[in-house]
C-alpha cells in the first residue's frame, strides 16, 4: 500500500502520518471526523491496510457502511485518491453504478482496472472498459483481462482484440506507432514519426519499429515550435544526397569525438547513435530541431552543416549547451560564426568568451568579441598559445590601450 497522500488537506496529512492526536485518528477511523467525503475515504483506506489493529478494524467497518449513492458520487469525482478507487474496485457485490464510476475515473490505476476486468461478471462493464482505447494502450494487461474473462460480450472482445492488433502486434507501420504515442500524450514524438521519411518504408528501409520508438523517446519539440525558415529550397539536393560511405564516416567521426571526451560510451548510447545514422539527412535535420539534449549532443557533431545548424536552431537548446558548443574544437566554423552573430547568444558573456578562446572561431568574429572582454580575460588570451598569433597580438593591443601600457 503506497503511503503517498493524494489530498492536499493538512488534516489528512496529519492523520495519515500519525502526527494528529490519537482521539482524532480514532474519530477518523469511525467516520465521525468532520472532513469532505473524499478526504475521509482516503484516511479510511489507509487505515484499512495499516498495521494498527484498532484503526484497521474501525476503518473496515466504516468502509462497509458507505451508502452506494454516496460512493457513486465520490468515486466519480476528480479529487478522489487512486488508493480509494483501487480499494473499492477490489470489493465484491457493489452496485454496477459504483463500479462504473470507478472504471470511468481517470485517476483509477490501470492495475486496478485490469484486476477488476479479470474478475467481474458484468459484460456491460467489460464493454465500457473496452471503449477506453487510451487506457488499453497504456496497459496491455487490461486487454488480456477482457479477452480472458468468460463473461465478456462480443463487442468488448472485438474492441480489445482490435486495439491489441493495431497497437501491440509486431508488424506495425509508422502511423500505428504515431497513434500509440499520441494516445500516451507524446504529441511531438508522434508528429516526428508521422513526418519522418523512413515512416512509409520502415520494414524495407533498414529502419525498424524498435528504432522508431527509441528515437521517439528523444523528441521534445512540437512542429509549431520550430522555425525552419532558414532551411531554403537551395539545399534540397544536399538534404537528399548522401552515400553510405559518407554516413559511415559520420558515424565514425561522432563515436571518435565522444570517445575522446568520455572514458566509456554506454552501449545504449552507441545503439542510439547507430540508429540516428541510419536516418537520412532530412530526418536528422528534423531530429536536430526537435530532439532533446541527448539527440542534440550527438547531432551537433554531424559534419553536414544542415544537421548541426538545425541543432543550434532547436528552440529548447540551453545557454549551457551553446557555451559547450562554442568551446568545441571539432564543430564547423559555420556553426561558430552563427553563434557569434546571434542576437540572442551574443548577450551571453560566457558564450562569447568560449568563442574567443576557440581557435576555430573565424578571426573576424573573434576580433569583434574581444572588444567586449574583461581585462582578466584579455590578459589570458594574450598568453594563450592555443589560439592564433593574430588573436594574441590583438588581445595584447586591447589590453595595452585599456591599461595605458600597464599590464
- Supply angle C-alpha 54, 58, 59, rounded to 5: 115
288-307 pLDDT tens trace? 999 999 999 999 999 888 89
377 HSE (CA, 13 A, CB side): 14
Helix, coil or strand: residue 219: strand
Quickly list H helices, 105-243: 110-119, 123-130, 133-138, 141-148, 154-167, 174-183, 187-195, 209-216, 236-240
Give the list of residues 6+ apart from residue 213 with CB closer than 8 angstroms, or none: 177
* pLDDT, position 204: 46
Residues listed for the chain: 407
Say if CB 161 and CB 144 are below 8 A apart: no
How many Å separate Cα 238 from the centre of its chain? 31
Q: Please identify every stretch of the chain with a pLDDT value under 70, giving residue numbers as ranges.
A: 1-3, 169-173, 198-207, 232-240, 405-407
137-151 pLDDT tens trace? 889 899 999 999 999
pTM confidence score = 0.56
188 HSE (CA, 13 A, CB side): 19
Cell digits of residue 186: 507524446
Cell digits of residue 362: 573565424
* pLDDT, position 230: 75
H or E segment and range at residue 359: none
42: left (phi over 0), alpha (psi -120 to 50) or beta: alpha
What span, in angstroms and rounded, lies between the C-alpha atoms of 44 and 56? 8
Quickly list H helices, 30-108: 37-48, 53-64, 68-76, 82-90, 96-104
Count of beta carbons in the 10 Å neighbourhood of residue 391: 22
Say if CB 341 and CB 365 are below 8 A apart: yes
Say if CB 340 and CB 369 are below 8 A apart: yes
Number of H helices, E strands in the chain: 27, 0
* pLDDT, position 203: 47
59-111 pLDDT tens trace? 999 999 999 888 999 999 999 999 999 999 999 999 999 999 999 999 999 99
* pLDDT, position 227: 83
- The average confidence (pLDDT) of the chain is 88
* pLDDT, position 232: 67
Helix, coil or strand: residue 255: helix
**Best CA proximity match to 193, nearest among 174, 217, 168, 166:** 174
Amino acid at each position: 500500500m503506497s503511503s503517498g497522500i493524494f489530498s492536499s488537506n493538512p488534516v489528512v496529512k496529519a492523520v495519515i502520518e500519525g502526527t494528529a492526536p490519537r482521539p482524532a485518528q480514532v474519530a477518523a477511523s469511525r467516520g465521525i471526523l468532520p472532513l469532505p467525503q473524499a478526504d475521509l475515504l482516503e484516511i479510511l483506506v489507509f487505515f484499512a491496510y495499516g498495521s494498527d489493529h484498532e484503526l484497521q478494524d474501525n476503518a473496515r467497518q466504516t468502509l462497509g457502511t458507505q451508502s452506494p449513492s454516496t460512493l457513486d458520487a465520490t468515486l466519480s469525482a476528480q479529487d478522489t485518491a487512486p488508493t480509494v478507487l483501487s480499494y473499492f474496485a477490489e470489493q465484491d457485490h457493489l452496485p454496477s453504478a459504483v463500479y462504473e464510476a470507478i472504471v470511468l475515473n481517470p485517476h483509477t490505476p490501470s492495475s486496478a482496472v485490469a484486476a477488476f476486468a479479470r474478475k467481474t461478471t458484468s459484460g456491460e462493464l467489460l464493454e465500457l472498459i473496452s471503449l477506453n482505447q487510451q487506457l488499453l494502450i497504456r496497459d496491455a494487461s487490461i486487454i488480456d483481462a477482457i479477452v480472458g474473462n468468460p463473461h465478456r460480450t462480443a463487442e468488448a472482445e472485438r474492441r480489445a482484440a482490435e486495439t491489441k492488433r493495431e497497437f501491440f502486434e509486431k508488424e506495425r507501420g509508422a502511423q500505428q506507432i504515431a497513434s500509440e504515442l499520441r494516445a500516451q500524450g507524446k504529441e511531438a514524438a508522434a508528429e516526428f514519426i508521422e513526418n519522418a521519411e523512413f515512416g512509409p518504408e520502415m520494414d524495407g528501409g533498414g529502419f525498424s519499429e524498435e528504432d522508431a520508438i527509441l528515437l521517439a523517446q528523444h523528441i521534445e519539440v512540437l512542429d509549431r515550435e520550430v522555425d525552419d525558415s532558414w532551411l531554403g529550397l537551395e539545399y534540397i539536393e544536399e538534404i537528399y544526397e548522401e552515400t553510405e560511405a559518407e554516413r559511415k564516416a559520420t558515424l565514425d567521426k561522432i563515436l571518435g569525438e565522444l570517445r575522446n571526451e568520455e572514458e566509456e560510451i554506454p552501449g545504449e548510447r552507441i545503439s542510439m547513435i547507430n540508429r540516428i545514422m541510419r536516418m537520412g539527412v532530412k530526418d536528422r535535420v528534423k531530429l536536430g530541431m526537435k530532439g532533446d539534449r541527448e539527440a542534440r549532443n550527438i547531432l551537433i557533431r554531424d559534419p553536414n552543416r544542415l544537421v548541426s545548424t538545425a541543432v543550434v536552431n532547436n528552440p529548447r537548446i540551453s545557454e549551457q549547451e551553446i557555451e559547450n558548443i562554442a568551446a568545441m574544437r571539432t564543430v564547423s566554423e559555420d556553426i561558430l560564426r552563427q553563434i557569434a552573430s546571434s542576437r540572442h547568444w551574443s548577450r551571453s558573456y560566457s558564450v562569447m568568451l568560449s568563442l574567443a578562446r576557440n581557435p576555430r572561431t573565424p578571426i573576424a568574429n573573434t576580433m569583434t568579441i574581444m572588444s567586449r572582454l574583461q581585462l582578466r580575460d584579455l590578459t589570458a588570451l594574450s598568453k594563450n598559445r592555443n589560439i592564433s598569433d593574430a588573436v594574441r597580438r590583438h588581445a595584447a593591443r586591447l589590453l595595452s590601450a585599456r591599461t595605458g601600457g600597464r599590464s
